[in-house]
Structure 1
Amino acid sequence: MIEIKEEQLEDILDKAIKKIETQHGMQLLSITKKIAPLDPLHFFEVAKGMKKNRTFWTSTIDDFYIVGVGNAVEIVAEEERFEVTENQWSKLLDEAIVYNPYKVPGTGIVTLGGMAFDPKKPRTDLWKKFSASQFTIPEYMLTKEDGSYYFTINIRLKRDDHAIQLANELEQVEATFFSERPRNTNGLITNEKIEIQPSEWKDSVRQAREEIRKNKAEKIVLAREVRLKFNKKADITTVLENLIQTQGNSFIFALEKNDDCFVGATPERLVKIEKDHLLSTCLAGTAPRGHTEEEDMAISHSLFHDEKNRQEHDFVVRMIKHAIKNYCTDLEIPDEPVIYPLKNLQHLYTPVTATLKKGYSIFDIIKQLHPTPALGGTPREESLQFIRDNELLDRGWYGAPVGWLDSNQNGEFAVAIRSGLIQGDEASLFAGCGVVKDSDPEAEYEETNIKLLPMLSVLGG
């Protein structure tokens, strides 16, 4: 990765073009500049007119945004996805030219994307546009970090490109993002809500419970699908806007593949890396919010002292500790969880901090952590095998790692729960629950209904 000093756009482009050695060679150039404040949702909406795929990420609690437009480079892996993705990413950074005097998280070369929950589960037509692992380096990107705004251009240059002509084109594109664009935000209405095999799903809960009672597993997480049909094509910008307004303390994301868009508002961080500082979180154990302050406190108290939820939470804490201890030093985990409140739900929450050892990357940690017991179960292989054999859906990217990483050794991934795959005027929503030896299928079914609320509420349901 070559860093270049502050110069005019034409000069930066001209120098990068001259580095291309062969007639058919290509050079990835990344240029980041600081810009005036620009609404990330406006940036996302303007891109709709460009007919390019869009990516969106925000950590609402940090007021941190990355919005990507287009596809300068795509990293796709179907086999050995962690190793292949990391190797392609490292090779790309080694060969790229980067102009980024700021080096704040989410600037420079950034790739956004995610992975399938279980690549061994056969892919259905529902998820045909999403690979086992797929990351996009956008052509144009807006980053909001610590109250400042940054605009990044990632461009693949050819030897016969003309610097002045390219500079003019890029400046026109940048100006487009600042232009006014009216937006139709008329309400979306769910005309039809189709429960996919609810009785069969409850049967699978009973079957999982029997496996656990035979000591073949301690916990198995089973997910189900609800299919929605709308009165019109869903506007993704409006969906994101509503999620931002209603789902505080969440990671809100959108990953667009042509007419399909995977969208969610997940409270569950998998891992965050800043240089060598690591933060992971255990989020397991769920209850609804109360209608009054007194009722809310009573539910919180009940959640905190509920044996099933505490057991479920402890599974996750122990797994995360065991998974990352060989990759980190200075590992710190509190003795007890706290209550983590969201708009519709509340969870048991435990933060985990550590220092990443030299020679390891965020991909090493993701590989160890995914899937957590909150999404797969425990033991991992036994629960995953049961899910492969018995779950009634293709999870696709539901419950899997989604997030971003940059050329400055920063990155953050969340677990893609509270999510749905939007396809024009239809959508599939997903929710799951952890089955243990005393699970009641009806109670688990009601828990999934609660977990569907965040997405239903913004999709006219």
Structure 2
Amino acid sequence: MKQGLAWEEGIARGAAIATWRLPQGNEAFLLQDFSGGSTLAEGWNLSELSAGFLAAPFIGLPYFLRADSLTTFPIQLAETTTAYTAPAENTAKKSEFMTWVAQAIEAIKQGPLQKVVVSRTDEKELPADFNVMKALEDLASAYPNAFVCALYIPALEGVWMCATPEILVEQNEEGIFRTISLAGTQSGVDLDGLPISPSQARWSQKEIEEQAFVSRYIIDCFKKIRLREYTEIGPKTISTGNLLHLKTDYIVETKAMDFPQLPGLMLGLLHPTSAVCGTPKQEAIDFISATERHDRSMYSGYLGPVNLMNATYLFVNLRTVEIKENHAVFYAGCGITEDSDPEKEWQETQMKCQTLQRVLMQ
């Protein structure tokens, strides 16, 4: 395929490359920055960026890829198998993670921390014939409602891929702004491997509370900029392949309000959201920094096209894998509250890691 050749040739000559498919889209994009991409300076402004692609780490300044070259191609959706035999649990990783969760619960009981997102990694060797562009198509087929992306930036020394359902900041060509509150997780398949209808989902008080933290955080951000005219839809249960989540949409008509700077303002206020960090934000960041032994890097940051065709689509970088040659590091996390159960939180991260593994490890 031509796009596969463009991907490989771009990497060979030091270009930064992003290729992606928007949710429910039937075409994909491939963008190249022949300079290798750049790190934005403090005080950067979203509305002042040229057409390109933005990719930010969990903590730190984002990378910007200008659109020196932009091509589109039809995404070849294919039948995908959902069968995946998960390997035996890594008992050392499980013990370590459950210790982190127990520490988080204790910290929350002591306050002022109310919620914190604890993450972990899972390392695998990919199949010898692994191909990034084919993997992108497989993910697009398996997760039609997700933003699927492959990203290479020379400074990162590896490829990052994701299949994320979570919009951080979106503004379409008609000026409609959107962000969502997405939290709470349960399996989207039953014991026989058959899909569970969202209408059949039953949510615990812990999961409802976890999602409510994120919703309140978004509304607090609106209050900081004195935005009162918005539409709130939800919460409702949505399916993202093998998982179910609770989601609430927040929509603003920026043209009617003459508020074109809203996406940039909200991006600065929202990231990192309580869906990937916690509440209060700084206390959660401090706990994560002191507890997790891995560098999150691009995991739980954000990424997506900006100012392309008068639209911006930025997504939280979830269901994430970092690839160096055939070695893959999968990232997953879960929101911890006072009512969390360490065993259940471990199982949630297992399901999240398997979101990509069940497609990429075939």
With the length of structure 1 as denominator, give the TM-score of the two structures.
Answer: 0.67
42, 49, 57: which is aligned to 2:9?
49
CA–CA distance in 2 between the matches of 1:196 and 1:138? 44
Q: Residue 16 of structure 2 contacts residue 36 of structure 2 at CA under 8 Å; is this kept in 1?
A: no
The residue that corresponds to 2:241 in the other structure is: 343
158, 162, 174: which is aligned to 1:264?
162
SS across alignment from 1:330: coil
Displacement of 1:61 after TM fit?
Answer: 1.4
CA–CA distance in 2 between the matches of 1:391 and 1:248? 32
CA separation of 1:238/1:297 partners in 2, compared to 1, >3 Å: closer, same or farther? closer
Displacement of 1:223 after TM fit?
Answer: 0.3
CA separation of 1:228/1:407 partners in 2, compared to 1, >3 Å: closer, same or farther? closer
The amino acid of 1:415's aligned partner reads: V
Q: Provide the identity percentage.
A: 24
SS across alignment from 2:183: strand
Give 1:56-71 correspondences, 5 Å limit: 56-63=19-26, 65-71=28-34
The residue that corresponds to 1:301 in the other structure is: 201
CA–CA distance in 2 between the matches of 1:266 and 1:298? 18
Q: Residue 288 of structure 1 contacts residue 299 of structure 1 at CA under 8 Å; is this kept in 2?
A: no
Q: Decide which structure has the larger Cα Rg and report it.
A: 1
187, 191, 207: which is aligned to 1:288?
187
CA–CA distance in 2 between the matches of 1:239 and 1:195? 29
The amino acid of 2:315's aligned partner reads: A
CA separation of 1:204/1:112 partners in 2, compared to 1, >3 Å: closer, same or farther? same
CA–CA distance in 2 between the matches of 1:293 and 1:233? 27
Displacement of 1:329 after TM fit?
Answer: 5.2
SS across alignment from 1:206: helix
SS across alignment from 1:248: coil
CA–CA distance in 2 between the matches of 1:280 and 1:416? 14
Give 1:182-331 correspondences, 5 Å limit: 197-232=93-128, 234-258=130-154, 260-274=158-172, 276-291=175-190, 296-297=196-197, 300-303=200-203, 306-325=204-223, 326=225, 328=227, 330-331=229-230
Higher RCO, 1 or 2 (CA under 8 Å, sep at least 6)?
2
The amino acid of 1:285's aligned partner reads: G
The residue that corresponds to 1:162 in the other structure is: none
The residue that corresponds to 2:231 in the other structure is: 332
CA–CA distance in 2 between the matches of 1:338 and 1:298? 9
Displacement of 1:327 after TM fit?
Answer: 6.1
Displacement of 1:406 after TM fit?
Answer: 1.6
63, 73, 82: which is aligned to 1:134?
63
SS across alignment from 1:302: coil
SS across alignment from 2:133: helix
CA–CA distance in 1 between the matches of 2:194 and 2:29? 38
Displacement of 1:254 after TM fit?
Answer: 1.1
264, 275, 279: which is aligned to 1:378?
279
CA–CA distance in 2 between the matches of 1:447 and 1:366? 27
Q: Deviations over 1:77-131 (max 9, x none)?
A: 3x63xx23x28x72x75xxxxxxxxxxxxxxxx2113111023xxxxxxxxxxxx
Displacement of 1:298 after TM fit?
Answer: 8.5
The amino acid of 1:386's aligned partner reads: F
Q: Deviations over 1:179-231 (max 9, x none)?
A: xxxxxxxxxx9999978743222111101100111122111100001111234
CA–CA distance in 2 between the matches of 1:138 and 1:458? 29
CA–CA distance in 2 between the matches of 1:60 and 1:358? 26
263, 278, 298: which is aligned to 1:397?
298
CA–CA distance in 2 between the matches of 1:302 and 1:293? 18
Displacement of 1:387 after TM fit?
Answer: 0.7
Displacement of 1:290 after TM fit?
Answer: 2.8
CA–CA distance in 2 between the matches of 1:383 and 1:369? 14
Q: Residue 116 of structure 1 contacts residue 396 of structure 1 at CA under 8 Å; is this kept in 2?
A: yes
The amino acid of 1:385's aligned partner reads: D
CA–CA distance in 2 between the matches of 1:242 and 1:294? 19
The residue that corresponds to 2:250 in the other structure is: 352
With the length of structure 2 as denominator, give the TM-score of the two structures.
Answer: 0.85
The amino acid of 1:210's aligned partner reads: E
1:447 aligns with 2:348: yes
311, 323, 329: which is aligned to 1:422?
323
Q: Deviations over 1:394-420 (max 9, x none)?
A: 100101111111265420100000011
Displacement of 1:301 after TM fit?
Answer: 3.0
Deviates more, 1:243-252 or 1:222-231: 222-231
Displacement of 1:358 after TM fit?
Answer: 3.1
SS across alignment from 2:37: strand
The residue that corresponds to 1:175 in the other structure is: none
Equivalent pairs counted in the alignment come to: 342
The residue that corresponds to 2:55 in the other structure is: 114
The amino acid of 1:58's aligned partner reads: R
The residue that corresponds to 1:129 in the other structure is: none
The amino acid of 1:280's aligned partner reads: T
For the aligned residues, what is the CA RMSD?
3.0
> Which consecutive unaligned segments of at least 5 residues does structure 2 have?
76-84
CA–CA distance in 2 between the matches of 1:191 and 1:215? 37
CA–CA distance in 1 between the matches of 2:230 and 2:189? 35
Displacement of 1:345 after TM fit?
Answer: 0.6
Displacement of 1:459 after TM fit?
Answer: 2.2
Displacement of 1:338 after TM fit?
Answer: 1.2
CA–CA distance in 2 between the matches of 1:190 and 1:70? 38
